[in-house]
Amino acid sequence: MMGVINSLFILAILIIVPVIGIEVYDWQSTFAVYIPYAAAGIFLLGMLYRMYKWGRSFVPFQVPTTCGQQKSLPWIKNNELENPSGTRGVIGRMFLEIFLFRSLFRNQRFELEEDRKRLRFDGTYMLWLAGMVFHWSLLIIIIRHTRLFMEPTINVVNLIRDVDALPHVLFSVLYITDVVIVVALTFLLLRRILSPQMKYISLLSDYFAVALITGVAMSGILMRWFWRVDLVYVKELAMSFLRFDPDTANLDAIGLAFYVHIFLLSALLIYFPFSKMVHMGGGISQSNQEYGEYK
Amino acid sequence: MGEEVASPEELIEVEYKPKKQDLMVPSPEFRHGTWSYTASVKRMEHLGLPHPHEWQPTDADWKLPQNWKEIVLKGMEERLNKYRSLRVFLDICVRCGACADKCHYYIGSGDPKNMPVARTELMRSVYRRYFTTAGKIFGSAVGARDLTEDVIKEWFYYYYQCTECRRCSVFCPYGIDTCEITMLGRELLNLIGININWIVEPASNCLRTGNHLGIPPHALVDTVEFAVDEVEDLTGIKIEVPLNKKGAEILFVTPSADYFAQPHWFTFMGYLMLFHELGLDYTMSTYASEGGNFGLFHSYETIKRLNAKIYAEARRLGVKWILGGECGHMWRVIHQYMDTLNGPADFLEVPKSPITGTVFENAKATKMTHIAEFTSDLIYNNKLKLDPSRNDHWRVTYHDSCNTARGMGIFEEPRYILNKVCNYYFDMPENTIKEKTFCCGSGSGLGTDENLEMRLRGGLPRANAVKYVHEENGVNMMTCMCAIDKANFPTLLNYWSPGVETGGVHEMLANALVMKGEKERESDVRGNPMNSKAVEEQE
């Protein structure tokens, strides 16, 4: 429990900082321009450095954990996706792992049947589902946000946004991904707190990561639902941001919620390369299951 | 040796809710039956291992070298640069918990630090403290901890409570391999003179005599003669077993337990009978008399040194390729390490079966083929006369050994053989076999008598699955292709699932093999009575 409380405490501080910065000190430029630039820089450099460090270490042995039947005799069917014997299998396996979380799909849980003292192993899919929903929602939300940085916006992105916006028929502010990402994050957090095994292995940084991402998501959602901001000014700012010529003319007119959202996002970007979230790069650069079997 | 262990009914009552103790607090408890004796100074000196000294885990002071902390941290830094996998694995774990309940030691003991994620955190916490910015600044908030002597003790306890079976990495989304962490953990402990005798002594023996048991060549010759006599008693045929024959086509290497231990012995007879029946031009070597490699259980250096003899012998005898017997970790070493460590074997040819002409393409790099591939190929091409009814008194199941399952993927070959030589074959439940197979609990050098309680606990999931097919299908024989398995399972099954024997795939083959000129077989390889209709029909 301490981990949850402490991370919420830190999150609270991270919310109060921009509130004070804007309401009390009027530091719009700092929060809208300087901090985001610094955060983006730290994120990019941090990730590049991390991947450079990984790349510089050697890979002396090819020791994949194989699953599935190997390729041996011609009359035995090998499992190309589980135990790749060539590049195509490797790519197939990587695709399944990155986009469909293949390994989590094989997850099992066990229980001991009291009467006959038998260990039962059954498939369990909630972690897979929550992981998929969270990561895919995150991806779609990020894709949607690219519309802020481009004019005219790309058709594919518009299409994704339109599908995501289907609930607008009923509620003009509701995106599918907004709802499901919060549900998934809540599930993942509850799982961490309620399972004794998960609680044992979770560190402050684990709870904090969930709290921070939830903070970013919630502040974004609240911006759409309650504390509407002027999107035109935001988009002007965003596009000028990319040009490295920030347009600070209308910063006063953008609501407080925006600054909170951007500050939390900046905190996340700064925190990213120093935390476990580097699994974004790590999962691709080395996965023990992705090496082809034979040279 | 069994008096100290509780009864099965008691041992199976495992408490899975972790006790209050924090993950970061070192808390090793060296209870009787949960650890193995430490390496003897003499053996360590023979292998040239650093800081040989007398100590036991139950001592308060482990007499580590003065600068042990510096040695370990420097060792870590070296390995972080040498092995990308180590660095990546320590960085990307997200503590999703998918691996947590997959380890047989966790299932058998409920000790939360046996959860693979926790086992890795033991090392990762030290990595964070000394090698990452966040760890240096924020300390325990990000899960970093200082390297103290208690941490070393904890490392010893838990890295010698992992059999490097890699079941956990099957379920991890990134394939984080706790086996590699354990191997590197053991290497680091090695640097300060901490290891166990059951790994050091066989490695030292192997370096001296070519096999783990320290058997000199003439003793090997004796044992082979004994096997020849037994085969003659059984079949009426006097076979010849070439030893150190120069210019033979194939070098056959098998774990030394096969010629000295039970039930491996019956599998050994099976090989000899098979090779004779085929008229195979092969030889065994009294110098490369060990397929297994206990170097795998303590350092990469040692793996390389011990494995070199196989290629050296192959070169000396001038063979064309190498055939390997039923051994588990031998295959992982051959398949995954040998090419980089000792190879390339450009003085050998790609294995080609002289009987069927099949070329074993998958052995292109190492020039070494698994006997299950070899034999299943023979059976598929109808080169053997078999009478499966001779095995009717056995109801058979097959245990996928860790390394053949997760280091190669050799599933169908042995099952094919078993289905052809037995009439009654049953697989264990799907979630406990093939790549999800459960370790026997005694791998990577943990199969000692003093470690009995942990072995029985670790073997619980596997033995439970055997018990299932025993109760449901009347299975009374469990076959496997690993020498450590064969050594461990009789004890394990006797405890958890009595009534099931342990044997080898080629033992079943030996029973069913109808040899040219054999007399009527009255008993199987173990001396159990059996019928042999085929011979009657021949006459």
Q: Report which of B260, B331, B244 is spatially closest to residue B293, judged by C-alpha positions.
A: B331
pLDDT at B481: 94
pLDDT at B344: 79
pLDDT at B80: 92
pLDDT tens for each residue of B31-65: 888 899 999 999 999 988 899 999 999 998 999 99
Tell me the pLDDT band of B537, cut-offs 50, 70 and 90.
very low
Euclidean distance between the first and final Cα of chain B, in Å?
A: 51
In this complex, is the C-beta atom of B142 within 8 Å of any C-beta atom belonging to chain A?
yes
pLDDT tens for each residue of B467-486: 999 999 999 999 999 999 99
Q: How close, in Å, is residue B434 to chain A by CA atoms? A: 7
pLDDT at A250: 78
Between A and B, how many CB-CB pairs are < 8 A? 240
Q: Residues B140-143: contacts with CB within 8 Å, 24+ apart?
A: B140/B24, B141/A6, B141/A203, B141/A204, B141/A205, B142/A203, B142/A204, B142/A205, B142/A275, B143/A203, B143/A204, B143/A205, B143/B23, B143/B24
Q: How far is Cα B327 from Cα B310, in angstroms, rounded to an integer?
A: 14
Kindly list the residues from chain A whose CB atom is less than 8 angstroms away from the CB atom of residue B378. none
Mean pLDDT of A165-183: 86
Would you call B431 and A121 a contact, using CB atoms and an 8 Å cutoff?
yes
What tokens were used for B185?
A: 């953990």
pLDDT of A289 strictly over 60: no
* Environment class of A20 (CB within 10 Å of its CB; exposed 0-12, middle 13-18, buried 19+): exposed
Q: Who among A104, A106, A276 is closest to B93 (CB)?
A: A276
Would you call A198 and B23 a contact, using CB atoms and an 8 Å cutoff?
no
Kindly list the residues from chain B whose CB atom is less than 8 angstroms away from the CB atom of residue A71. 362
Q: Report which of B368, B360, B327 is spatially closest to residue B344, judged by C-alpha positions.
A: B368
pLDDT of B272 strictly over 90: yes
pLDDT at B535: 44
pLDDT at B532: 58
Q: How far is Cα B390 from Cα B467, in angstroms, rounded to an integer?
A: 24
pLDDT tens for each residue of A182-239: 999 999 999 999 999 999 999 888 999 999 999 999 999 988 888 888 888 888 888 8
Kindly list the residues from chain B whose CB atom is less than 8 angstroms away from the CB atom of residue A117. 9, 12, 464
Q: Which residue has the higher pLDDT, B2 or B219?
A: B219
pTM: 0.91
pLDDT at B534: 47
Question: Which value, in Å, is the radius of gyration of the alpha carbons in chain A?
Answer: 23
Tell me the pLDDT band of B1, cut-offs 50, 70 and 90.
very low
pLDDT of B439 strictly over 90: yes
Distances (CA, A) of B21 to A44, A164, A196, B143, B189: 38, 45, 12, 15, 24
Other C-beta atoms lying within 10 Å of the C-beta of residue A183: 14
Mean pLDDT of A59-80: 85
Q: Cβ distance B375 to B328 under 8 Å?
A: no
- The answer for B 246-275 residues in CB contact with A (under 8 A) is none
Tell me the pLDDT band of A32, cut-offs 50, 70 and 90.
confident
pLDDT at A167: 84
Kindly list the residues from chain B whose CB atom is less than 8 angstroms away from the CB atom of residue A211. none
Chain B interface test: which of A62, A124, A200 (most B C-beta within 10 Å): A200
Would you call B92 and A64 a contact, using CB atoms and an 8 Å cutoff?
no
Chain B interface test: which of A1, A10, A63, A98 (most B C-beta within 10 Å): A63
pLDDT at A285: 61
In this complex, is the C-beta atom of B11 within 8 Å of any C-beta atom belonging to chain A?
no
Q: How close, in Å, is residue A24 to chain B by CA atoms? A: 30
Q: Cβ distance B196 to B160 under 8 Å?
A: yes
Q: Who among B82, B101, B432 is closest to A57 (CB)?
A: B82
Q: Cβ distance A184 to A138 under 8 Å?
A: no
pLDDT at A286: 54
Element (H, E) at B266: helix B264-278
pLDDT tens for each residue of B106-118: 999 999 999 999 9
Tell me the pLDDT band of B2, cut-offs 50, 70 and 90.
very low
In this complex, is the C-beta atom of B339 within 8 Å of any C-beta atom belonging to chain A?
yes
Q: Note the helical H segments in B447-521.
A: 452-458, 460-473, 483-496, 505-512
What's the mean per-residue pLDDT of chain A? Answer: 86
Would you call A104 and B98 a contact, using CB atoms and an 8 Å cutoff?
yes
Percent of chain B with pLDDT over 70: 97
pLDDT tens for each residue of B78-105: 999 988 888 889 998 999 999 999 999 9
Residue of A nearest to B435 (CA): A67
Sign of the CA dihedral with A143 first, then A144, A150, and A156 last = positive
Tell me the pLDDT band of A284, cut-offs 50, 70 and 90.
low
Would you call A54 and B87 a contact, using CB atoms and an 8 Å cutoff?
yes
pLDDT at B242: 94
pLDDT tens for each residue of B342-393: 777 888 999 999 999 999 988 888 889 999 999 999 999 999 999 999 999 9
Percent of chain B with pLDDT over 90: 65
pLDDT at B251: 94
Would you call A276 and B360 a contact, using CB atoms and an 8 Å cutoff?
no
Tell me the pLDDT band of B68, cut-offs 50, 70 and 90.
very high
3-state class of B171 per DSSP? helix
DSSP 8-state code for residue A19 = H
Q: How far is Cα B524 from Cα B521, in angstroms, rounded to an integer?
A: 7
Residue of A nearest to B460 (CA): A119
In this complex, is the C-beta atom of B481 within 8 Å of any C-beta atom belonging to chain A?
no
pLDDT at B276: 94
Would you call B96 and A55 a contact, using CB atoms and an 8 Å cutoff?
no
pLDDT at B275: 95
pLDDT at B232: 93
pLDDT at A291: 47
Q: Cβ distance B461 to A119 under 8 Å?
A: yes
Kindly list the residues from chain A whose CB atom is less than 8 angstroms away from the CB atom of residue B141. 6, 203-205
- The answer for B 166-205 residues in CB contact with A (under 8 A) is 166, 169-177, 180
Tell me the pLDDT band of A295, cut-offs 50, 70 and 90.
very low
In this complex, is the C-beta atom of B494 within 8 Å of any C-beta atom belonging to chain A?
no
Q: Who among A83, A101, A287 is closest to B409 (CB)?
A: A83
pLDDT of B147 strictly over 90: yes
Would you call A206 and B95 a contact, using CB atoms and an 8 Å cutoff?
yes
Kindly list the residues from chain A whose CB atom is less than 8 angstroms away from the CB atom of residue B300. 60
Q: Cβ distance A18 to A218 under 8 Å?
A: no
Would you call B173 and A54 a contact, using CB atoms and an 8 Å cutoff?
no
pLDDT of B15 strictly over 60: yes
In this complex, is the C-beta atom of B287 within 8 Å of any C-beta atom belonging to chain A?
no
Q: Which residue has the higher pLDDT, B21 or B487?
A: B487
pLDDT at A71: 85
